[in-house]
Protein backbone atom coordinates (compact mmCIF):
# COMPACT_ATOMS: atom_id res chain seq x y z
CA UNK A 1 0.00 0.00 0.00
CA UNK A 2 1.16 3.53 -0.83
CA UNK A 3 -0.13 6.57 1.06
CA UNK A 4 0.49 10.03 -0.44
CA UNK A 5 -0.40 12.83 1.98
CA UNK A 6 0.15 16.54 2.64
CA UNK A 7 -0.34 17.24 -1.09
CA UNK A 8 -2.76 19.26 -3.14
CA UNK A 9 -4.99 16.87 -5.10
CA UNK A 10 -6.82 17.46 -8.39
CA UNK A 11 -9.03 14.42 -8.89
CA UNK A 12 -10.38 15.44 -12.34
CA UNK A 13 -13.59 13.61 -11.46
CA UNK A 14 -16.92 14.70 -12.97
CA UNK A 15 -17.40 17.32 -10.25
CA UNK A 16 -13.84 18.64 -10.54
CA UNK A 17 -13.14 17.84 -6.89
CA UNK A 18 -9.90 19.26 -5.50
CA UNK A 19 -8.23 19.28 -2.10
CA UNK A 20 -5.75 21.94 -1.05
CA UNK A 21 -4.31 19.51 1.51
CA UNK A 22 -5.26 15.95 0.75
CA UNK A 23 -4.29 12.35 0.41
CA UNK A 24 -4.46 9.42 -2.01
CA UNK A 25 -4.25 5.81 -0.83
CA UNK A 26 -3.21 3.08 -3.29
CA UNK A 27 -3.93 -0.56 -2.53
CA UNK A 28 -1.76 -3.58 -3.16
CA UNK A 29 -4.02 -4.46 -6.12
CA UNK A 30 -2.86 -1.35 -7.96
CA UNK A 31 -6.14 0.50 -7.56
CA UNK A 32 -7.07 3.61 -5.62
CA UNK A 33 -8.51 2.88 -2.18
CA UNK A 34 -9.52 6.41 -1.21
CA UNK A 35 -8.97 10.07 -2.06
CA UNK A 36 -9.80 12.87 0.33
CA UNK A 37 -8.96 15.90 2.39
CA UNK A 38 -6.47 15.97 5.26
CA UNK A 39 -4.74 12.87 6.58
CA UNK A 40 -5.89 9.42 5.54
CA UNK A 41 -5.90 7.92 9.02
CA UNK A 42 -4.38 4.63 10.05
CA UNK A 43 -3.87 1.59 7.87
CA UNK A 44 -2.73 -1.82 8.99
CA UNK A 45 0.00 -3.79 7.30
CA UNK A 46 2.90 -2.56 5.21
CA UNK A 47 2.39 1.06 4.15
CA UNK A 48 4.78 3.25 2.20
CA UNK A 49 4.15 6.87 3.18
CA UNK A 50 5.02 9.60 0.68
CA UNK A 51 5.16 13.19 1.93
CA UNK A 52 3.64 15.35 -0.80
CA UNK A 53 4.36 18.70 0.81
CA UNK A 54 4.74 21.31 -1.95
CA UNK A 55 3.35 18.91 -4.56
CA UNK A 56 0.20 18.34 -6.61
CA UNK A 57 -1.28 14.90 -7.30
CA UNK A 58 -3.12 14.43 -10.59
CA UNK A 59 -4.10 11.47 -12.72
CA UNK A 60 -1.26 10.35 -14.96
CA UNK A 61 -1.21 12.10 -18.32
CA UNK A 62 -2.39 10.11 -21.34
CA UNK A 63 -0.68 10.56 -24.70
CA UNK A 64 -3.20 9.94 -27.49
CA UNK A 65 -0.98 10.35 -30.57
CA UNK A 66 2.68 9.59 -31.23
CA UNK A 67 5.11 8.03 -33.71
CA UNK A 68 7.93 6.72 -31.56
CA UNK A 69 10.21 5.66 -34.42
CA UNK A 70 10.57 9.32 -35.39
CA UNK A 71 12.85 9.96 -32.40
CA UNK A 72 15.62 8.76 -34.73
CA UNK A 73 14.94 11.59 -37.22
CA UNK A 74 14.52 14.62 -34.97
CA UNK A 75 15.56 18.05 -36.18
CA UNK A 76 15.16 17.39 -39.89
CA UNK A 77 12.94 19.22 -42.43
CA UNK A 78 12.73 22.14 -40.05
CA UNK A 79 10.88 24.59 -42.31
CA UNK A 80 8.48 22.41 -44.27
CA UNK A 81 4.72 22.01 -44.34
CA UNK A 82 3.40 18.52 -43.60
CA UNK A 83 3.50 17.30 -47.21
CA UNK A 84 7.02 18.64 -47.79
CA UNK A 85 8.16 17.28 -44.43
CA UNK A 86 6.80 13.82 -45.27
CA UNK A 87 8.34 13.87 -48.75
CA UNK A 88 11.78 14.56 -47.24
CA UNK A 89 11.49 11.95 -44.47
CA UNK A 90 9.75 8.99 -46.11
CA UNK A 91 12.97 7.81 -47.83
CA UNK A 92 14.80 7.81 -44.48
CA UNK A 93 11.95 6.07 -42.66
CA UNK A 94 11.98 3.39 -45.33
CA UNK A 95 15.29 2.21 -43.84
CA UNK A 96 14.18 1.74 -40.23
CA UNK A 97 14.46 -1.67 -38.60
CA UNK A 98 13.62 -3.29 -35.28
CA UNK A 99 16.88 -2.13 -33.69
CA UNK A 100 16.24 1.48 -34.66
CA UNK A 101 12.61 1.38 -33.54
CA UNK A 102 13.48 -0.26 -30.23
CA UNK A 103 16.08 2.40 -29.42
CA UNK A 104 13.85 5.26 -30.55
CA UNK A 105 10.86 3.91 -28.62
CA UNK A 106 12.90 3.43 -25.47
CA UNK A 107 14.09 7.03 -25.57
CA UNK A 108 10.66 8.38 -26.47
CA UNK A 109 8.78 6.43 -23.81
CA UNK A 110 11.38 7.15 -21.15
CA UNK A 111 11.09 10.86 -21.89
CA UNK A 112 7.29 10.62 -21.81
CA UNK A 113 7.43 9.00 -18.38
CA UNK A 114 9.65 11.80 -17.11
CA UNK A 115 7.12 14.31 -18.47
CA UNK A 116 4.23 12.88 -16.42
CA UNK A 117 2.84 10.40 -18.93
CA UNK A 118 1.59 7.06 -17.60
CA UNK A 119 -0.25 5.80 -20.71
CA UNK A 120 0.87 6.27 -24.29
CA UNK A 121 -0.44 5.38 -27.68
CA UNK A 122 1.86 4.79 -30.61
CA UNK A 123 0.79 4.98 -34.26
CA UNK A 124 3.29 2.92 -36.24
CA UNK A 125 2.69 2.65 -39.98
CA UNK A 126 6.12 2.09 -41.63
CA UNK A 127 7.04 -1.58 -42.04
CA UNK A 128 10.10 -2.06 -44.30
CA UNK A 129 10.17 -5.52 -45.84
CA UNK A 130 13.52 -6.41 -44.29
CA UNK A 131 13.14 -4.37 -41.09
CA UNK A 132 12.32 -7.20 -38.71
CA UNK A 133 9.57 -7.11 -36.07
CA UNK A 134 9.37 -3.38 -35.43
CA UNK A 135 6.05 -3.57 -33.55
CA UNK A 136 7.50 -6.07 -31.09
CA UNK A 137 10.52 -3.81 -30.61
CA UNK A 138 8.44 -0.88 -29.41
CA UNK A 139 6.24 -3.08 -27.24
CA UNK A 140 9.34 -4.46 -25.53
CA UNK A 141 10.54 -0.89 -24.95
CA UNK A 142 7.24 0.05 -23.30
CA UNK A 143 7.42 -2.98 -21.05
CA UNK A 144 10.95 -2.02 -20.05
CA UNK A 145 9.98 1.56 -19.12
CA UNK A 146 6.79 0.39 -17.38
CA UNK A 147 4.18 2.55 -19.11
CA UNK A 148 0.69 1.45 -20.05
CA UNK A 149 0.87 1.12 -23.83
CA UNK A 150 -1.60 1.29 -26.72
CA UNK A 151 0.33 0.52 -29.91
CA UNK A 152 -1.75 0.77 -33.07
CA UNK A 153 -0.87 -1.32 -36.10
CA UNK A 154 -0.80 1.27 -38.85
CA UNK A 155 -0.54 0.75 -42.59
CA UNK A 156 -0.08 2.48 -45.93
CA UNK A 157 -1.06 0.98 -49.30
CA UNK A 158 -1.43 4.08 -51.50
CA UNK A 159 1.97 4.82 -53.03
CA UNK A 160 3.06 7.51 -55.48
CA UNK A 161 2.24 5.39 -58.51
CA UNK A 162 -1.39 5.25 -57.37
CA UNK A 163 -1.68 8.96 -56.59
CA UNK A 164 -0.64 8.81 -52.94
CA UNK A 165 2.10 10.73 -51.17
CA UNK A 166 4.49 8.00 -49.86
CA UNK A 167 7.01 6.37 -52.22
CA UNK A 168 5.98 2.91 -53.38
CA UNK A 169 8.77 1.14 -51.49
CA UNK A 170 7.36 2.08 -48.06
CA UNK A 171 3.77 0.91 -48.65
CA UNK A 172 2.28 -2.57 -48.22
CA UNK A 173 -0.13 -4.66 -50.22
CA UNK A 174 -3.66 -4.20 -48.92
CA UNK A 175 -4.32 -7.83 -48.02
CA UNK A 176 -0.92 -8.16 -46.36
CA UNK A 177 -1.53 -5.07 -44.24
CA UNK A 178 -4.92 -6.35 -43.09
CA UNK A 179 -3.51 -9.78 -42.28
CA UNK A 180 -0.61 -8.31 -40.31
CA UNK A 181 -2.99 -6.07 -38.40
CA UNK A 182 -5.15 -8.99 -37.32
CA UNK A 183 -2.05 -11.00 -36.41
CA UNK A 184 -0.93 -8.13 -34.14
CA UNK A 185 -4.28 -8.22 -32.35
CA UNK A 186 -4.02 -12.00 -31.93
CA UNK A 187 -0.52 -11.75 -30.53
CA UNK A 188 -0.59 -8.67 -28.34
CA UNK A 189 -4.04 -7.32 -27.47
CA UNK A 190 -5.15 -7.64 -23.84
CA UNK A 191 -8.74 -6.40 -23.31
CA UNK A 192 -8.76 -6.83 -19.52
CA UNK A 193 -9.58 -3.77 -17.36
CA UNK A 194 -6.03 -3.77 -15.90
CA UNK A 195 -4.41 -4.20 -19.32
CA UNK A 196 -0.97 -2.70 -19.88
CA UNK A 197 -1.14 -3.48 -23.60
CA UNK A 198 -3.99 -2.88 -26.02
CA UNK A 199 -3.68 -2.91 -29.79
CA UNK A 200 -5.60 -0.63 -32.14
CA UNK A 201 -6.14 -0.52 -35.90
CA UNK A 202 -4.70 2.57 -37.58
CA UNK A 203 -4.38 3.06 -41.36
CA UNK A 204 -2.25 6.16 -41.75
CA UNK A 205 -4.18 8.88 -43.61
CA UNK A 206 -6.43 9.64 -46.61
CA UNK A 207 -3.40 10.49 -48.75
CA UNK A 208 -1.49 7.27 -48.01
CA UNK A 209 -4.24 4.64 -47.71
CA UNK A 210 -6.78 3.32 -50.21
CA UNK A 211 -10.50 3.49 -49.56
CA UNK A 212 -10.61 -0.29 -49.51
CA UNK A 213 -8.03 -0.53 -46.73
CA UNK A 214 -9.82 2.15 -44.70
CA UNK A 215 -13.18 0.39 -45.03
CA UNK A 216 -11.92 -3.13 -44.36
CA UNK A 217 -9.73 -1.98 -41.47
CA UNK A 218 -12.83 -0.52 -39.82
CA UNK A 219 -14.68 -3.80 -40.34
CA UNK A 220 -11.73 -5.72 -38.89
CA UNK A 221 -11.50 -3.52 -35.80
CA UNK A 222 -15.19 -3.81 -35.03
CA UNK A 223 -15.20 -7.55 -35.59
CA UNK A 224 -12.31 -7.88 -33.12
CA UNK A 225 -13.57 -5.29 -30.62
CA UNK A 226 -10.58 -2.91 -30.81
CA UNK A 227 -10.38 0.81 -31.46
CA UNK A 228 -9.72 2.77 -34.65
CA UNK A 229 -7.25 5.61 -35.17
CA UNK A 230 -6.01 7.64 -38.14
CA UNK A 231 -4.81 11.11 -39.12
CA UNK A 232 -7.55 13.41 -40.37
CA UNK A 233 -8.05 17.08 -41.23
CA UNK A 234 -4.52 18.01 -40.23
CA UNK A 235 -3.67 20.50 -42.99
CA UNK A 236 -5.18 22.57 -45.78
CA UNK A 237 -3.24 20.37 -48.24
CA UNK A 238 -5.15 17.33 -46.98
CA UNK A 239 -8.44 19.19 -47.39
CA UNK A 240 -7.51 19.99 -51.01
CA UNK A 241 -6.45 16.37 -51.62
CA UNK A 242 -9.76 14.99 -50.36
CA UNK A 243 -11.87 17.47 -52.32
CA UNK A 244 -9.94 16.78 -55.52
CA UNK A 245 -9.74 12.99 -55.19
CA UNK A 246 -12.99 12.16 -53.36
CA UNK A 247 -15.17 15.21 -53.93
CA UNK A 248 -15.76 15.84 -50.23
CA UNK A 249 -14.16 17.02 -47.00
CA UNK A 250 -11.94 14.70 -44.92
CA UNK A 251 -14.67 14.13 -42.32
CA UNK A 252 -17.27 13.39 -45.00
CA UNK A 253 -14.84 10.94 -46.56
CA UNK A 254 -14.16 9.25 -43.23
CA UNK A 255 -17.88 8.91 -42.51
CA UNK A 256 -18.52 7.36 -45.92
CA UNK A 257 -16.06 4.60 -45.00
CA UNK A 258 -17.50 3.90 -41.54
CA UNK A 259 -14.84 5.89 -39.73
CA UNK A 260 -16.96 7.91 -37.33
CA UNK A 261 -18.12 6.49 -34.00
CA UNK A 262 -17.37 6.25 -30.31
CA UNK A 263 -14.71 3.61 -31.03
CA UNK A 264 -12.73 6.04 -33.23
CA UNK A 265 -10.39 8.88 -32.44
CA UNK A 266 -8.69 11.05 -35.04
CA UNK A 267 -5.30 12.72 -34.87
CA UNK A 268 -5.21 16.52 -35.22
CA UNK A 269 -8.66 17.59 -36.48
CA UNK A 270 -7.37 21.08 -37.26
CA UNK A 271 -9.32 21.95 -40.42
CA UNK A 272 -12.93 21.26 -39.51
CA UNK A 273 -15.99 23.20 -40.60
CA UNK A 274 -19.09 23.57 -38.43
CA UNK A 275 -20.73 20.51 -39.98
CA UNK A 276 -17.66 18.38 -39.25
CA UNK A 277 -17.50 19.49 -35.62
CA UNK A 278 -21.18 18.67 -35.22
CA UNK A 279 -20.80 15.21 -36.78
CA UNK A 280 -17.84 14.35 -34.53
CA UNK A 281 -19.87 15.38 -31.50
CA UNK A 282 -23.00 13.53 -32.60
CA UNK A 283 -21.12 10.31 -33.24
CA UNK A 284 -18.83 10.49 -30.19
CA UNK A 285 -15.72 10.45 -32.38
CA UNK A 286 -12.64 11.58 -30.47
CA UNK A 287 -9.81 13.93 -31.44
CA UNK A 288 -6.15 13.76 -30.41
CA UNK A 289 -5.13 17.42 -30.17
CA UNK A 290 -1.41 17.95 -30.90
CA UNK A 291 -0.84 21.69 -30.43
CA UNK A 292 2.97 21.77 -30.57
CA UNK A 293 3.19 19.59 -33.68
CA UNK A 294 0.52 21.66 -35.41
CA UNK A 295 2.53 24.78 -34.59
CA UNK A 296 5.87 23.29 -35.66
CA UNK A 297 4.45 22.37 -39.09
CA UNK A 298 2.33 25.52 -39.37
CA UNK A 299 -0.78 23.37 -39.78
CA UNK A 300 -3.14 25.76 -37.99
CA UNK A 301 -5.07 26.26 -34.75
CA UNK A 302 -7.50 23.48 -33.86
CA UNK A 303 -11.04 24.44 -32.83
CA UNK A 304 -10.67 23.00 -29.34
CA UNK A 305 -13.37 25.12 -27.67
CA UNK A 306 -15.88 24.25 -30.38
CA UNK A 307 -15.00 20.55 -30.18
CA UNK A 308 -15.44 20.46 -26.42
CA UNK A 309 -18.72 22.37 -26.61
CA UNK A 310 -19.97 19.86 -29.18
CA UNK A 311 -19.25 16.98 -26.78
CA UNK A 312 -16.27 15.62 -28.70
CA UNK A 313 -13.83 13.58 -26.56
CA UNK A 314 -10.56 15.52 -26.88
CA UNK A 315 -7.21 14.21 -25.64
CA UNK A 316 -3.67 15.51 -25.99
CA UNK A 317 -0.81 14.08 -28.03
CA UNK A 318 2.82 15.01 -28.47
CA UNK A 319 2.87 13.53 -32.01
CA UNK A 320 6.06 12.14 -33.52
CA UNK A 321 9.33 13.54 -32.28
CA UNK A 322 10.36 14.59 -35.78
CA UNK A 323 7.48 17.07 -35.93
CA UNK A 324 7.60 18.06 -32.25
CA UNK A 325 11.08 17.59 -30.89
CA UNK A 326 10.24 18.56 -27.30
CA UNK A 327 7.84 15.58 -27.01
CA UNK A 328 7.05 16.59 -23.42
CA UNK A 329 3.46 15.75 -22.55
CA UNK A 330 3.40 17.92 -19.44
CA UNK A 331 4.23 20.96 -21.58
CA UNK A 332 1.35 20.17 -23.93
CA UNK A 333 -1.04 21.24 -21.15
CA UNK A 334 0.25 24.79 -21.53
CA UNK A 335 0.50 24.60 -25.30
CA UNK A 336 -3.12 23.47 -25.60
CA UNK A 337 -4.20 26.38 -23.40
CA UNK A 338 -2.25 28.87 -25.46
CA UNK A 339 -3.47 27.58 -28.82
CA UNK A 340 -7.09 27.71 -27.70
CA UNK A 341 -6.63 31.28 -26.49
CA UNK A 342 -4.83 32.37 -29.65
CA UNK A 343 -7.91 31.28 -31.56
CA UNK A 344 -10.68 32.26 -29.15
CA UNK A 345 -9.35 34.69 -26.55
CA UNK A 346 -8.52 34.31 -22.85
CA UNK A 347 -11.83 32.65 -21.99
CA UNK A 348 -11.45 29.93 -24.64
CA UNK A 349 -9.88 27.36 -22.29
CA UNK A 350 -9.08 27.18 -18.59
CA UNK A 351 -6.15 25.48 -16.89
CA UNK A 352 -8.48 22.84 -15.50
CA UNK A 353 -10.00 22.12 -18.90
CA UNK A 354 -6.51 21.63 -20.28
CA UNK A 355 -5.73 19.18 -17.48
CA UNK A 356 -8.99 17.35 -18.23
CA UNK A 357 -7.93 16.94 -21.87
CA UNK A 358 -4.57 15.54 -20.77
CA UNK A 359 -6.19 13.01 -18.43
CA UNK A 360 -9.84 11.94 -18.63
CA UNK A 361 -10.14 13.31 -22.17
CA UNK A 362 -7.34 11.04 -23.29
CA UNK A 363 -8.87 8.12 -21.41
CA UNK A 364 -12.12 8.65 -23.32
CA UNK A 365 -10.25 8.64 -26.64
CA UNK A 366 -8.62 5.31 -25.73
CA UNK A 367 -11.82 3.81 -24.30
CA UNK A 368 -10.27 3.59 -20.80
CA UNK A 369 -12.39 6.16 -18.93
CA UNK A 370 -13.87 3.55 -16.58
CA UNK A 371 -10.44 2.75 -15.16
CA UNK A 372 -8.12 5.65 -16.02
CA UNK A 373 -8.08 9.44 -16.24
CA UNK A 374 -9.30 10.51 -12.80
CA UNK A 375 -8.45 9.88 -9.14
CA UNK A 376 -11.44 7.99 -7.77
CA UNK A 377 -11.78 5.00 -5.46
CA UNK A 378 -11.69 1.79 -7.48
CA UNK A 379 -9.86 3.22 -10.48
CA UNK A 380 -6.38 2.10 -11.47
CA UNK A 381 -3.65 3.95 -9.58
CA UNK A 382 -2.05 5.69 -12.55
CA UNK A 383 -1.05 9.01 -11.02
CA UNK A 384 1.65 11.66 -10.89
CA UNK A 385 2.99 13.65 -7.94
CA UNK A 386 4.30 16.92 -9.41
CA UNK A 387 6.83 18.98 -7.45
CA UNK A 388 5.70 22.60 -7.52
CA UNK A 389 7.71 24.18 -4.67
CA UNK A 390 10.78 25.20 -6.65
CA UNK A 391 11.82 28.60 -7.95
CA UNK A 392 10.01 28.22 -11.26
CA UNK A 393 6.60 27.83 -9.61
CA UNK A 394 7.09 30.06 -6.59
CA UNK A 395 4.31 32.59 -6.10
CA UNK A 396 1.57 30.68 -7.96
CA UNK A 397 -0.74 29.70 -5.14
CA UNK A 398 -3.17 27.78 -7.37
CA UNK A 399 -1.40 24.44 -7.86
CA UNK A 400 -3.29 23.48 -11.03
CA UNK A 401 -2.47 26.86 -12.54
CA UNK A 402 1.16 26.38 -11.50
CA UNK A 403 1.26 23.05 -13.33
CA UNK A 404 -0.38 24.32 -16.52
CA UNK A 405 0.83 27.93 -16.80
CA UNK A 406 4.23 27.40 -15.22
CA UNK A 407 7.41 25.76 -16.52
CA UNK A 408 7.63 21.98 -16.89
CA UNK A 409 7.21 20.56 -13.40
CA UNK A 410 9.55 17.84 -12.10
CA UNK A 411 7.90 14.48 -11.49
CA UNK A 412 8.45 13.45 -7.89
CA UNK A 413 6.60 10.15 -8.30
CA UNK A 414 4.70 8.47 -11.12
CA UNK A 415 2.73 5.28 -10.60
CA UNK A 416 1.28 2.91 -13.19
CA UNK A 417 -1.13 0.50 -11.59
CA UNK A 418 0.39 1.41 -8.23
CA UNK A 419 3.92 0.56 -9.38
CA UNK A 420 6.53 3.36 -9.48
CA UNK A 421 7.95 4.17 -12.92
CA UNK A 422 9.51 7.52 -11.95
CA UNK A 423 10.87 8.56 -8.55
CA UNK A 424 12.48 11.90 -7.74
CA UNK A 425 12.82 12.75 -11.41
CA UNK A 426 14.56 9.49 -12.35
CA UNK A 427 13.30 6.46 -14.26
CA UNK A 428 12.87 3.44 -12.02
CA UNK A 429 13.33 0.65 -14.58
CA UNK A 430 15.72 2.16 -17.11
CA UNK A 431 18.77 4.39 -17.24
CA UNK A 432 18.14 7.67 -19.07
CA UNK A 433 21.75 8.00 -20.21
CA UNK A 434 21.71 4.49 -21.69
CA UNK A 435 18.46 5.29 -23.51
CA UNK A 436 20.05 8.44 -24.92
CA UNK A 437 23.13 6.55 -26.11
CA UNK A 438 20.97 3.95 -27.82
CA UNK A 439 18.90 6.59 -29.57
CA UNK A 440 22.03 8.47 -30.64
CA UNK A 441 23.52 5.36 -32.22
CA UNK A 442 20.25 4.49 -33.96
CA UNK A 443 19.91 7.98 -35.43
CA UNK A 444 23.49 8.02 -36.63
CA UNK A 445 23.22 4.60 -38.24
CA UNK A 446 19.93 5.46 -39.95
CA UNK A 447 21.19 8.70 -41.46
CA UNK A 448 24.40 7.10 -42.75
CA UNK A 449 22.60 4.32 -44.64
Q: Is residue 445 part of a domain?
A: no
Instruction: Give yes or no for residue 139 having a pLDDT over 90.
Output: yes
**Mean pLDDT across the chain, nearest whole number?**
96
If asked whether residues 300 and 413 sit together in one domain, one would say: no
Mean pLDDT confidence for 43-72: 95
Instruction: Give yes or no for residue 42 having a pLDDT over 90.
Output: no
**What CATH number corresponds to the domain at position 220?**
3.20.20.140
Give, in order, the Cα–Cα distances in Å from 177 to each of 93, 96, 183, 343: 18, 18, 10, 39
If asked whether residues 241 and 314 sit together in one domain, one would say: yes
| CA separation for the pair 110, 116 (Å, rounded) | 10
If asked whether residues 143 and 200 sit together in one domain, one would say: yes
Mean pLDDT confidence for 176-204: 98
CB 123 within 8 A of CB 67: yes
pLDDT at res. 187: 98
Q: Is residue 443 part of a domain?
A: no
Q: Give the domain range for residue 310.
A: 61-366
Degrees to nearest 5, angle at CA 355 with 349 and 361: 95
If asked whether residues 376 and 333 sit together in one domain, one would say: no
pLDDT at res. 22: 98
pLDDT at res. 447: 85
Number of H helices, E strands in the chain: 15, 17
If asked whether residues 48 and 66 sit together in one domain, one would say: no
Give 287-308 pLDDT, tens digit per residue.
999 999 999 999 999 999 999 9
If asked whether residues 172 and 38 sit together in one domain, one would say: no
Instruction: Give yes or no for residue 61 having a pLDDT over 80.
Output: yes
Give 297-349 pLDDT, tens digit per residue.
999 999 999 999 999 999 999 999 999 999 999 999 999 999 999 999 999 99
pLDDT at res. 20: 98
pLDDT at res. 56: 98
Mean pLDDT confidence for 210-239: 97
Instruction: Give yes or no for residue 196 having a pLDDT over 90.
Output: yes
Instruction: Give yes or no for residue 201 having a pLDDT over 80.
Output: yes
Name the pLDDT band for 73 (thresholds 50, 70, 90).
Answer: very high
If asked whether residues 312 and 285 sit together in one domain, one would say: yes
Name the pLDDT band for 388 (thresholds 50, 70, 90).
Answer: very high
If asked whether residues 146 and 51 sit together in one domain, one would say: no
Instruction: Give yes or no for residue 51 having a pLDDT over 90.
Output: yes
Instruction: Give yes or no for residue 449 having a pLDDT over 80.
Output: no
pLDDT at res. 360: 98
Mean pLDDT confidence for 1-11: 97
If asked whether residues 109 and 216 sit together in one domain, one would say: yes
Give 91-126 pLDDT, tens digit per residue.
999 999 999 999 999 999 999 999 999 999 999 999
Query: Distance between alpha carbon 188 and the CA centroid of its chain, in Å?
Result: 19
Those residues with Cβ within 8 angstroms of residue 113's Cβ, 6 or more apart along the chain or in another chain: 145, 146, 147, 411, 414, 421, 422, 427
Q: Is residue 448 part of a domain?
A: no
Domain count, the chain: 2
Instruction: Give yes or no for residue 41 having a pLDDT over 90.
Output: no
pLDDT at res. 292: 98
Give 140-167 pLDDT, tens digit per residue.
999 999 999 999 999 999 999 998 889 8
Instruction: Give yes or no for residue 264 having a pLDDT over 90.
Output: yes
Q: Is residue 380 part of a domain?
A: yes
Name the pLDDT band for 366 (thresholds 50, 70, 90).
Answer: very high
Q: Is residue 220 part of a domain?
A: yes
- Burial bucket for residue 444 (CB in 10 Å: 0-12, 13-18, 19+): exposed
Specify the pairing of strand 286-289 against strand 264-268: parallel
CB 41 within 8 A of CB 3: no
Degrees to nearest 5, angle at CA 95 with 89 and 99: 120
Name the pLDDT band for 45 (thresholds 50, 70, 90).
Answer: confident
If asked whether residues 208 and 289 sit together in one domain, one would say: yes
Q: Which residues are bridge partners to 51 per DSSP?
A: 5
If asked whether residues 288 and 259 sit together in one domain, one would say: yes
Amino acid sequence: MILIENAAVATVDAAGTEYADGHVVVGDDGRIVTVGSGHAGRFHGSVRRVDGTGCLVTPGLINTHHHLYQWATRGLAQDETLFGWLTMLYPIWGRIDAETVGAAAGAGLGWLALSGCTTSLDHHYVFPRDGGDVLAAEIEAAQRIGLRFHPTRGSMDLGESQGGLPPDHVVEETDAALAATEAAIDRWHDPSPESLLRVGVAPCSPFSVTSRLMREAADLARRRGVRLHTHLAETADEEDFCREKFGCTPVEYAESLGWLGDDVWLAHGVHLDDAAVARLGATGTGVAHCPSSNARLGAGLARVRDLLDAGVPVGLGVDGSASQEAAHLGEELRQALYVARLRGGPAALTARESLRMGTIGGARCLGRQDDLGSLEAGKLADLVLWRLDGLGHEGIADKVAALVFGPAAPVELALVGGRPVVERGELVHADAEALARGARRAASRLRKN
